[in-house]
Copies of this chain bind each other. A is one copy, B any other.
């Protein structure tokens, strides 16, 4: 879905770009993101995979976690995310789970691939049948696992997220 881009969109994207550029020399990966709510930036980060030793520490995941902490909620549906590069599948998944409804990005998965990142490969792997992936991905249909969902359905105090 596309809508008109505004001057604010351009301004907030530039902030994410600035964060990425400033971060490289301190050991950050070449990606940045900011989250905006009600016209203000509420979280911003560069990629910190190497700095933190956490493979999930992409800029988008970090700004989502920071914004959720600030808003005391896993629901970020009132927020917009700006990213210097098209979010990878991990980050796009995080965006959907957070309820964010608008993403603006600059470079894309092919630009990232050209400098050695696996974003495009992972997009391709996710789209195919699990049994066809490069990863060993095995379905073990243990009936005990069905008990989890039955218990969940019966649990009166559950909060569906």
List residues of A whose CB falls within 8 A of some B CB.
1-3, 5, 9-10, 13-14, 17, 20-21, 24-25, 27, 29-32, 49-50, 52-58, 61, 64-65, 68-69, 72-76, 84-86, 88-108, 111, 114-116, 118, 121-123, 125-127, 130-142, 144-149, 151-153, 155, 157-161
Which are the 3 A-B pairs with shortest beta-carbon distances?
A: A90-B93, A106-B145, A30-B152
Query: Once the chains bind, are B90 and A136 in contact (CB under 8 Å)?
Result: no
Rounded to whole angstroms, the CA-CA distance of A102 and B139 in the bound complex is: 11
Query: Once the chains bind, are B161 and A92 in contact (CB under 8 Å)?
Result: no
In the assembled complex, which residues on chain B have CB atoms less than 8 Å from the CB atom of A111? 146, 149
Given contacts A126-B126, A136-B103, are A55 and B98 in contact (CB under 8 A)? yes
Among the listed B14, B132, B142, B149, which residue makes an inter-chain contact with A30, where contact means beta carbons less than 8 Å apart?
Answer: B149
In the assembled complex, which residues on chain B have CB atoms less than 8 Å from the CB atom of A106? 139-142, 144-145
Chain B residue nearest to A46 (CB atoms) is B148
Query: Once the chains bind, are B144 and A2 in contact (CB under 8 Å)?
Result: no
Query: Once the chains bind, are B94 and A24 in contact (CB under 8 Å)?
Result: no
Query: Once the chains bind, are B90 and A89 in contact (CB under 8 Å)?
Result: yes
Given contacts A14-B144, A30-B151, are A138 and B55 in contact (CB under 8 A)? no
Q: Measured between C-beta atoms, what is the minimum distance from A28 to chain B in Å? A: 10
Query: Once the chains bind, are B127 and A127 in contact (CB under 8 Å)?
Result: yes
Query: Once the chains bind, are A126 and B50 in contact (CB under 8 Å)?
Result: no
Query: Once the chains bind, are A95 and B135 in contact (CB under 8 Å)?
Result: yes
